[in-house]
A and B are shown apart, each in its own frame.
Chain A
Amino acid sequence: MLSRAAEALFWIGRYAERAEDTARLLDVHFHQIIVDPNVDEAGTCRVVATVMGLHDEAPPTMRGVLDLLAYDGANPSSIAGSLSAARENARGVREAVSGEIWECLNATHLELPRRVSAARQFGPAPFFSYVRQRAAMYSGYVASTISRDAGYDFLALGRSLERADMTARLLAAAVGTPGRGDEHWITTLRACSAHEAYLRTYQRALEPRLVLEFLLLDRLFPRSVLHALSVGEEALARLEPAAEWNGRFGQTPEARRLIGRVRTDLEFLSPEAIVDGLPQRLQSIQRGVSDVSESVARRYFGSSAVVGWTTEESEWVTT
């Protein structure tokens, strides 16, 4: 698979997941502000903006945060920006994704301006619901229309890393939200589409520690951090099977070593310790994911750098 195509696929996976998760995050938090008069709008907005990495520019109103994180097509962290970036990447590698995937991303991109202006006028709920539906459609096509070759693995890897990162951010939002009661944990579960799965798993009333356990460590729920990391790790293992790197000892490819370390840190955590140093743990998950991402780029995408030729100096220039 072409390095350039692999890189594009990896980022399609990340952006599509980011758009979906951001829609969930914003949806539940703003729903909370609307239904509960006791929720502090400015405080919630600040938390949401902070966990999305926007510390300074964050306006203290729902509308302001929506502009920044939902509608601003120029910001690759926003929903509109992520969807457009996913589409732009797919346009560059149309031969590597299926026609269905391309058409889904392209049609979503074309429809966005209309949806955004409707959302500004009538409220964001239908917009979030649209984004989640399109994301589900996209995932369905990824699951059923492309071969399980390296291309799929790069898509899956991108999606898994983004999902682990975003679930950690969602948890960080829950931990950081001011004036918290159990409502916040329900909000967080719902942001991960995990409320019903949680209830079925534990069959008891909501306990913050169990919510954390579920979203961080559950092996079976697809949006838990552990599950997302495991899926990413499997994709990396398929991309570079042990046979190719003398898998008997040592020399594990860097990306696999890094992702394995983040996973095992979680996996062998004692249930009692789960609450200790939680903000730091969530941060270190995010840092770990970012390191894995960089390592993947070095290992697989680095060679597609632009190569130019300058006649004056008669030498290769790599930028």
Chain B
Amino acid sequence: MVDAEGVPYAHTKSLYEALQLLSAADLSERGAARARSFLEQGITFSSSGQEWVFPLDLIPRLIPEQEWEHIEAGVAQRVRALEAFLADVYGDRRVLADGIVPHSLVVTSSNFTRAAAGIRPASGVRVHLAGIDLVRGSDGVMRVLEDNLRVPSGISYVVENREALTRVFPGLFLEQQVQPVANYVATMLDSLRATAPRGVDDPTVVLMTPGVHNSAYFEHAFLARKMGIELVEGRDLVCRDNVLYMRTTSGQRRVDVVYRRIDDDFLDPLQFRGDSMIGCPGLVNAARAGNVTLANAIGNGVADDKLTYTYVPALIRYYLGEEPLLPNVPTFRLDDPDVRADCLARADQLVFKPVDGSGGHGIVIGPQATDEELTEVIGKVTELPRAYVAQEVVLLSTVPSQDGDTLRPRHVDLRPFATNDGERVRVLPGGLTRVALREGSLVVNSSQGGGSKDTWVLTSRPRPLPMDGPLELLPGTLQADAPDPGPPTEQAQQQQQSRGSRC
């Protein structure tokens, strides 16, 4: 928020001045009220049978307009390239034949799904919703940390955080032009509808959840509610003759698009895990028959693979003929013996990540790891080089955050979201800023004590959301009478009555 001399940057000046006026007590009171309200609204995530409020740091993160336009373009570019890659990998495999990505990488990826081969999704879309994680290093450059093309979560917190902040700091919003986020869920629905199987005019879209015990259940319910669609579990669905139906009080009703928030493995016990009780048998065949759209498509995980990630800049050049707008974090492929030897020699300076992990699981941060952890990861890498990548440690940039009564720098990352309907990629202005609430910590995952921040994309001019055209009002004047005042009040009656008695 401020430069080395303690002077606020131009785009943060207004917020900086407003914060000077807040007392510590004021801030913590607003924070407590906000936390209570989140709890009452049930804006929580579940973890080991308990419901927790995802901590929201009240100090917003500001992104100036120009910088945002760059990020937005970079995210959209990446989504387009990854979409093309997935279509190719599950189709002609041109990218393998041309030697851009090694054939072995794809077939050895644990998230490459043979069941997805031959499924031609409607409108060709496989990535309906993407979450691209970005970090800014000490050099100020925004880099891509990883791609989430399976079931990225967090949009509900973006919307709810904004809702909360507008109530906590109404004045700040009047002073700034902050791009709104609330209607983005409608944009998602718009995209999902646009990818319905051909010939369906008014598609029925549902959101499929593993159920109330899933950690992200709040988000599933939130999105279903905001889209006005049914929130279904596997037991609500039934497939007959490769057509998907849901069980309703007036019989079975056909379903055209499934926005599924269930991992591939649990989606369809006929195709994947036979012991899964939360999926719907026959779903994959219904998708293969072209009768239902699965969003996101099955098998997208191959593009999330951290080894694939190292090829994404090349994929952008290959499919789009463009230079990547957002660079990757420097990453080493450990299947190369020389690179591996070099990385293992300085293991204590690098980050090791499992290629198929998510949610921060299994990551070893060299400088912070114990000797045992380092020995263990070196052993694993030596044994199975394909399973890990190594990255330079990015010292995440910090933004001011609440720490008791004061503001302290805390490390953050950013997850912008993008929807894709096959024609357009539309990016949510801002995204989920996750913050490591513990001092010095680089871990922002909610499962490991991270919190979030409202992310403000500032704009110099009001800009409509991607989907909304301007609403033309008919010319004319707006005039109305004041609301009916009703019968005379008691006071007026008293006056009249007392006057009456005098006469």
Partners in one complex: yes
Contact assessment for A91 and B42 in the assembled complex, using a CB-CB cutoff below 8 Å: yes
A3-B247, A309-B269 are contacts. A95–B221 as well, Cβ < 8 Å? yes
Contact assessment for B235 and A307 in the assembled complex, using a CB-CB cutoff below 8 Å: yes
Question: Which label, helix, strand, loop or mixed, suits the secondary structure of the A interface?
Answer: helix
Docked CA distance A92–B210 (Å) = 11
Chain A's interface size range is 20 to 34
A106 at the interface (CB under 8 A from B): yes
Docked CA distance A159–B231 (Å) = 24
Which residue from chain B places its CB closest to the CB of A107 in the assembled complex?
Answer: B40
Per-residue contact bits, chain A 87-107, to B (CB 8 Å; 1 contact, 0 not): 000011111000100110011
Contact assessment for A300 and B270 in the assembled complex, using a CB-CB cutoff below 8 Å: no
Per-residue contact bits, chain A 244-275, to B (CB 8 Å; 1 contact, 0 not): 00000000000000000000000000000000
A42 at the interface (CB under 8 A from B): no
Contact assessment for B230 and A2 in the assembled complex, using a CB-CB cutoff below 8 Å: yes
Per-residue contact bits, chain B 154-186, to A (CB 8 Å; 1 contact, 0 not): 000000000000000000000000000000000
Tell me which residues across on chain A come within 8 A of B230, comparing CB atoms. 2, 5, 95
Per-residue contact bits, chain A 1-36, to B (CB 8 Å; 1 contact, 0 not): 111111000000000000000000000000000000
Per-residue contact bits, chain B 331-360, to A (CB 8 Å; 1 contact, 0 not): 000000000000000000000000000000
B281 at the interface (CB under 8 A from A): yes
B58 at the interface (CB under 8 A from A): no
Determine which of B231, B246, B249 lies in contact with A93 in the assembled complex, contact meaning CB atoms within 8 Å: B231
Determine which of A2, A102, A309 lies in contact with B248 in the assembled complex, contact meaning CB atoms within 8 Å: A2
Contact assessment for A102 and B247 in the assembled complex, using a CB-CB cutoff below 8 Å: no
Per the 8 Å Cβ criterion, residues 212-257 of B in contact with A are 212, 221-222, 224-225, 229-233, 235-236, 238, 246-250
Tell me which residues across on chain B come within 8 A of A5, comparing CB atoms. 230
B102 at the interface (CB under 8 A from A): no
Contact assessment for A308 and B248 in the assembled complex, using a CB-CB cutoff below 8 Å: no
Contact assessment for A106 and B225 in the assembled complex, using a CB-CB cutoff below 8 Å: no
A3-B247, A3-B249, A311-B274 are contacts. A95–B41 as well, Cβ < 8 Å? no
A239 at the interface (CB under 8 A from B): yes
B39 at the interface (CB under 8 A from A): yes
* Chain B: interface residue total (CB-CB under 8 A): 29
B31 to chain A, nearest CB (A): 18
Contact assessment for A308 and B277 in the assembled complex, using a CB-CB cutoff below 8 Å: yes
Contact assessment for B225 and A95 in the assembled complex, using a CB-CB cutoff below 8 Å: yes
Contact assessment for B236 and A3 in the assembled complex, using a CB-CB cutoff below 8 Å: yes
Contact assessment for A306 and B249 in the assembled complex, using a CB-CB cutoff below 8 Å: no
Tell me which residues across on chain B come within 8 A of A143, comparing CB atoms. none
Contact assessment for A110 and B247 in the assembled complex, using a CB-CB cutoff below 8 Å: no
A303 at the interface (CB under 8 A from B): yes
Determine which of A4, A99, A103, A239 lies in contact with B236 in the assembled complex, contact meaning CB atoms within 8 Å: A4
Per-residue contact bits, chain B 260-294, to A (CB 8 Å; 1 contact, 0 not): 00000000011000110100010000000000000
Contact assessment for B41 and A2 in the assembled complex, using a CB-CB cutoff below 8 Å: no
B248 to chain A, nearest CB (A): 6
Which residue from chain B places its CB closest to the CB of A316 in the assembled complex?
Answer: B281
A94-B221, A95-B225 are contacts. A3–B41 as well, Cβ < 8 Å? no
Per-residue contact bits, chain B 406-438, to A (CB 8 Å; 1 contact, 0 not): 000000000000000000000000000000000
Q: Which of A95, A110, A300 has the most CB of B within 10 A?
A: A95
A133 at the interface (CB under 8 A from B): no
Residues of A within 8 A of B (CB): 1-6, 91-95, 99, 102-103, 106-107, 110, 150, 154, 239, 300, 303-309, 311
Residues of B within 8 A of A (CB): 39-42, 211-212, 221-222, 224-225, 229-233, 235-236, 238, 246-250, 269-270, 274-275, 277, 281
For the complex with contacts A91-B212, A307-B281, A309-B270, 19 further pairs of A-B residues with Cβ separation under 8 Å are A2-B232, A2-B236, A2-B249, A3-B236, A3-B247, A4-B233, A6-B249, A93-B231, A94-B42, A94-B224, A94-B225, A99-B225, A102-B41, A103-B42, A106-B40, A106-B41, A150-B249, A300-B249, A308-B277
The 6 closest A-B pairs by CB, nearest first: A94-B221, A95-B224, A107-B40, A311-B274, A95-B225, A303-B247
